[in-house]
Chains A and B, each alone.
Chain A
Amino acid sequence: MTLVRTKIGRRSFIRNTGLASGGLVLGFNWLASCKMTPEQVDTLPKEWFDLNGFLKVGDNGLVTIMSPNPEIGQNVKTAMPMIIAEELDVAWKDVIVEQAPLNTDIFTRQLAGGSQSIRQGWESLRMAGATAKHMLKEAAAAAWQVPVAEITVKEGMLMHEASDKSAGFGEMASAAAKLEVPEEVELKDNNSFSIIGTDRKNVDGPKIVTGQPLFGLDVYKEGMLTAMIVHPPAFGMKYKGMKADAVKNMPGIKDVFHFEVYPEGVEKQWSDGGGIPELVAIVGNSTWECMQAKKALEVEWEEDSKLESTSYHDEALAALLETPQEQPARKDGDVEAAFKKAAKIIESTYSAPYLAHNTMEPMNFFAHVTPEKAELLGPIQTPEFLEKTLASRLGMPLEKIDIMMTRMGGGFGRRLYGTFAVEAAAISQKMNAPVKLVYSREDDMTQGTYRPAYKIKYKAGLDENGNLIAWHVRGAGTNDDLVWEHRFPAGAVDNYLAEKHVLQTNVTTGAWRAPRSNFIAGAEQAFMDEVAEASGKDPIEFRLELFDRAINNPVGDPKQNDYDPERYAGVLKLVKEKSNWNGANSGKARGVSAYYCHNSYVAQVLDLEDGGADMPRVDKIWCAVDCGIVVNPLSAKNQVEGGMVDGIGHATYSAMTFTDGKPNQSNYDRYRLIRNMEAPKEVETFFVDNGIDPTGLGEPSLPPVIGALANALYKAKGRRHYSQPFINDKPPIVG
């Protein structure tokens, strides 16, 4: 065991009675009222004892564990409580999981983003379990008059072997709850884990498959009104006026009004990113009535700034690729001199369009704002930031604002930007009524906060022996400068130059699953394949040689390099072995790719189906992942598979385009998402078992798969795909 001081989130371990008796949890009892399984109802305790903000123990030994972070489908609502349960030493069947409300007194970083929930929660979650276990042991030691060190714990049972005494957690919970939280606790050794590293099913599974209310859109409250918004039809336009009288008289409609989401003086957070400043609200009794009113409403808009089209973004990004950066992001050696003496030079440009997040559950939020307090409930990745914005927008102190998170019907970064919750609160305040704001699919797809459009140009030089001697990358994105200058192959090439540019546009952008990496990995790994081919070397061997260079004789300050070349090479070697890369393979068109992001390493080998299809289907992917300790392999594999389906789908089929500022796609009839028949036939995932503390998992499998797909497509079709979506990247018509 490792003795650790409970320094992380020290204040988390001050017992907080507010959680059990505070207004939000009991007064806002929506989630808790979800139907429990018959077994849970049968065994509910008469009394709960709060040992720290993360968990409470029932008098019968049942344990309720709060899952602190928002659940967007990354399955932290199962994994985070598993980590607590591991250190507590309670049987998983005796655990009830609840979604914690926003509570900055107890929890730190209640955020879903950057694949960081498990990585950054790891230590404090373990301590939450370990401190509670220690308090239960102390209570037993006092009751039995024996030294605490002689007490052992297994699956919710406290035991003292010498005196043959034993008791369940429930018997000691009341006494334990009166004890001080220990200053130091022992954490388990990795090799004694019995819950971490085992397959555990999604704790919300039974509710999901029976259609019980879980999501923001499912919230219904007594007296609640429904609200919808109308936003400008094009980026670069703003509200001018409207004729609302007739619509106000439509059946079920309560009010129609124009409002400012962020009036002057409101202190915005980064999470208010892509919001539209002025909107029209339609408030009524039901969703369908609001939708009808929305159709009938005539709003006048006026031009506010340039109306941009996709052709403009393309041309402006292309122009930036021809423009040197005044102060390059990184410069090692002299690329120009190296290109002059290179035996071969390879040069390619890659591009990708804007993408919408398209969470299956459109944006929505419930708000009930009264002069006394604000209650909010809904799907959001950044509740802590929302609370701050609301305090400023509503003119209320933080303690009068209660925020609860529902399960989210997808996030992918979109719900980092909680403008919809601010809108719901503003509408509720104006109506002086509980309101659920609902975006239509069209509202959701056309309001912005997109994955930026990108272009990137690579130039590589090889010497006469096929060694990489120069690498030049210049990238540009809309509202984003794209290039990670210290990532691979930085540090592995003597002459290296990274340059980056931003094209400012009024089409709003934001983080989209694996920001930047979701484009740059595919481009870089496709280009790496071109360079490997030109060198005459095997694509995996070519990459491994570069990692060897970064391991043995790194260029520049190795601390500057944002990757660990040994772990990078490790996943490549693993996938090489598992896919039988060097052996007699299936003869199918095959591509390889590897990438590092969100502190984790992923390598893939991808086979395409045979056949002359315009866009051949993926037959199989072998995927090697180094994300340190895997908390729940069952759901970890689900994340890895889903990330790859997501990457393949968007790179192949999806795009948001614009004409004079107006989105050309507003629903799934024109915005194509990958479907069942287009998803890979088979996936095999392999995790590196290295005992390192866990790193990111929700995002890292997505970026490299686009490179693996591009490289396999080249083998299948004999030409490279440079422009996403690949389905539109047709060969030029000759003749």
Chain B
Amino acid sequence: MATFTLNINGKKQEVDVDPSTPVLWVLRDHLNLVGTKYGCGIAQCGACTVHVDGTATRSCMLTVSSVGNQEITTIEGLSENGDHPVQKAWLEVDVPQCGYCQAGQIMTAAALLEKNPNPTDEEIEMAMNGNICRCGTYLRIRKAVKMAANS
């Protein structure tokens, strides 16, 4: 066990965990931030996507010891009142079915638009390709990303 001070959603958070613990489980089990989801544990499905210094990152394979001072943003910290353009577009398009993967989808989309505010259809699909939606809401995901880009 070791103590780590993490910068999460703009707040310093101290945790005492095994250094090998992935950030996903630190968020979920130790900080009660459960919006970041567990799907596969091997960075294949994207449900656990967070931003590390603004870059979409799979938190399930990111060990707590490797984070250092980098800023972590989770779905809970994406916006104060749930009004990030991507969140608003997600609601407007009514994207979710079961909803489980959507936090990861939204975090990936928000990171994309931060770097590329006007992505082409191909760029949207390419960026979103790492996030599995088992319910198959891919068409609405594309539409919502486009809507957020245009807002």
Contacts and interface: CB of A to CB of B under 8 A. Distances in A.
A366 B128 CA distance: 32
B139 to A, nearest CB: 6
A642 interface: yes
A204 interface: yes
A638 B40 contact: no
A360 B39 contact: yes
A410 B100 contact: yes
A432 interface: no
A725 interface: no
A362 B48 CA distance: 13
A215 interface: yes
Given A441-B39, A683-B139, A210 B82 contact: yes
B76 A205 contact: no
Interface in A525-545: none
Given A360-B39, A360-B101, A668-B40, A641 B136 contact: yes
A41 to B, nearest CB: 13
Nearest to A359: B134
A676 interface: yes
B98 A408 contact: yes
A289 B18 contact: yes
A166 interface: no
Contact of A642 (B39, B91, B97): B97
Helix, strand, loop or mixed for chain B's interface? loop
Contacts of A641: 136-137, 139-140
A211 B129 contact: no
A419 B94 CA distance: 33
Nearest to A673: B132
B139 A217 contact: no
Contact of A676 (B28, B103, B129): B129
B45 interface: yes
B134 A673 contact: yes
B16 to A, nearest CB: 11
Given A288-B25, A642-B136, A676-B141, A360 B129 contact: no
A556 interface: no
Interface string A657-674: 000000000011100011
B151 to A, nearest CB: 15
A220 B34 contact: yes
Contact of B129 (A209, A217, A677): A677
Candidate in A642, A676, A680 with the most chain B CB atoms within 10 angstroms: A676
A409 interface: yes
Contact of A677 (B42, B106, B125, B139): B125
Q: Which of B25, B94, B140 has the most CB of A within 10 A?
A: B94
A4 interface: no
B102 A645 contact: no
B32 interface: yes
Interface in A208-227: 208-215, 217-218, 220, 226
Contacts of B137: 638, 641-642, 645
A299 B134 CA distance: 33
B147 to A, nearest CB: 13
Nearest to A635: B94
Contacts of A590: none
Nearest to A679: B138
A202 interface: yes
B141 to A, nearest CB: 7
Given A286-B25, A642-B135, 4 more contacts: A208-B96, A209-B90, A213-B34, A409-B100
